[in-house]
């Protein structure tokens, strides 16, 4: 048995789970949120208890220090040296990695090189890695890449119709993201189908960041995110794919630089931009259904526009992937929005129902349960599931496998 830490660092958060491996028993889990904002939040769960601490967390180094201090002070471990290994989620592995990798100087250099493709994430990942490496110098370190699962895509699916030398010389191509989640959920989905020799499934990873993937026989065929995690479907604060000509138009009209418009694309668009309410689907749902009795008619209208637009864009990708796969056996919803926003799942599937003969069981869709959950009805030709993602357990598994931990 060995203690393995799985770290999932986002642009402003750090999720973690400490596992007893290979049993995959969770010893502790939690998250540091709102990193870099005025006030941060640190949540840690252990022994059936949950502690929440509010304090400034200026950067990911401080977040790691908070976590490691809590492990010892709360007697979750007697000393940090009990942790045998740390696995880190890395958003962008470019064309270099089709699997997780043991960390060495060359691997770190490649992640640094690729930071411009994931500027909100790769630098944060490396800060977290170095903080853990400093605190746990004898622990093994593994990087698990969000792009690795998508390396099975054919060239015709990852190339852009740009001058070919942009791909050969500058590495401009579709890479995708959320691959660790897509791999986990698609494996779960195929198991629920009875592990058939051939399978065609669509995974909808819908969180603050969102992407879909078409998976055939366990291999990714296509995915919605592209050169960076900005592409694809509408997201919490990201616009997804829009007409490229909008960029120079806005630069001229608003007297802004391309970097300033790109920042708007990444942080002020998507659900937040259309609704004017929030990038969080829960806030939009509250406004749409006036749950607190404070929504104005304009807020309700904007929340409705946002929900309908979001559902329409996601359903278009489901239809496209149905065509690419030549059919579909099952669809899975996962991540924060996919697992919890029943009204959006209904809107999305309603958009697909006439063409694909897929239908939800309204009662099952609205019922909140832990674990994998079938939400389609008996008349649906495609099974639809809610499957909670678990990127951390995938990271831990790869860490154990590559480091040959017993």
Residue 367: Cβ within 10 Å count: 12
Count, residues in the chain:
406
* Residue (of 156, 153, 155, 158) closest to 215 by Cα position: 153
Residue 148 Cα distances to 92, 98, 140, 158, 220, angstroms: 9, 4, 20, 13, 10
CA 398: distance to chain centroid? 18
Distance of alpha carbon 186 from alpha carbon 220, whole angstroms: 9
Q: What order do you get walking across the sheet with 83-90 strand by strand?
A: 49-55, 40-46, 25-33, 14-21, 2-9, 83-90, 140-145, 101-102
Helix-helix angle 246-254:258-267, to 10 degrees: 110
CA distance 85 to 64: 15
Nearest C-alpha neighbor of 310 from the set 355, 361, 267, 346 = 346
Q: How far is CA 147 from the centre of its chain?
A: 11
Q: Cα separation of 10 and 35, whole Å?
A: 9
Active site residues: 146
Give how far Cα 317 sits from Cα of 200, 321, 323, 332, Å: 15, 6, 10, 13
49: its two tokens: 């208890």
Rg (C-alpha) for the chain, rounded Å, is 21
């Amino acid at each position: 048995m060995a203690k393995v830490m799985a770290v999932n660092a986002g642009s402003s958060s750090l999720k973690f789970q400490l596992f007893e491996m290979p049993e995959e028993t969770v010893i502790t889990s939690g998250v540091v949120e709102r990193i870099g904002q005025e006030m941060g939040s640190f949540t840690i769960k252990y022994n059936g208890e949950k502690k929440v601490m509010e304090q400034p967390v200026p950067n990911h180094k401080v977040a790691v220090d908070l976590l490691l201090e809590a492990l010892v002070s709360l007697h979750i471990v007697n000393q940090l040296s009990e942790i045998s290994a740390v696995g880190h989620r890395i958003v962008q592995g470019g064309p270099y990695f089709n699997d997780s990798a043991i960390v060495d100087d060359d691997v770190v250099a490649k992640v640094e090189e690729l930071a411009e493709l994931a500027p909100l994430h790769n630098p944060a990942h490396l800060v977290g890695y170095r903080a853990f490496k400093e605190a746990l110098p004898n622990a093994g370190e593994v990087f698990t890449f969000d792009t690795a699962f998508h390396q099975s895509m054919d060239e015709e699916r990852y190339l852009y119709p740009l001058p070919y030398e942009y791909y050969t010389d500058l590495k401009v191509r579709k890479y995708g993201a959320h691959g660790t989640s897509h791999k986990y959920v698609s494996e779960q989905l195929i198991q629920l189908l009875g592990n058939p020799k051939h399978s065609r499934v669509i995974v909808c990873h819908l969180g603050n960041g969102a992407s879909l993937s078409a998976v055939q026989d366990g291999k990714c065929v296509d995915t919605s995110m592209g050169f960076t995690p900005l592409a694809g479907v509408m997201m919490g604060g990201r616009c997804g794919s829009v007409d490229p000509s909008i960029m120079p138009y806005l630069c001229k009209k608003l007297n802004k630089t391309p970097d300033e418009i790109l920042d708007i694309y990444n942080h002020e668009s998507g659900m937040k931009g259309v609704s004017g309410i929030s990038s969080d689907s829960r806030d939009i749902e509250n406004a749409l259904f006036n749950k607190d009795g404070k929504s104005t008619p304009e807020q309700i209208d904007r929340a409705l526009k946002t929900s309908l637009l979001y559902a329409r864009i996601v359903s278009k990708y489901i239809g496209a992937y149905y065509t690419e796969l030549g059919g579909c056996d099952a669809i899975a919803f996962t991540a924060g929005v996919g697992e919890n926003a029943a009204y959006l799942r209904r809107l999305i599937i309603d958009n697909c129902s006439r063409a694909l003969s897929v239908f939800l069981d309204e009662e099952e869709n609205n019922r909140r349960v832990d674990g994998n959950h079938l939400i389609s009805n008996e008349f649906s030709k495609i099974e639809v599931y809610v499957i909670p993602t678990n990127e951390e357990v995938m990271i831990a598994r790869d860490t154990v496998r590559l480091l040959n931990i017993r």
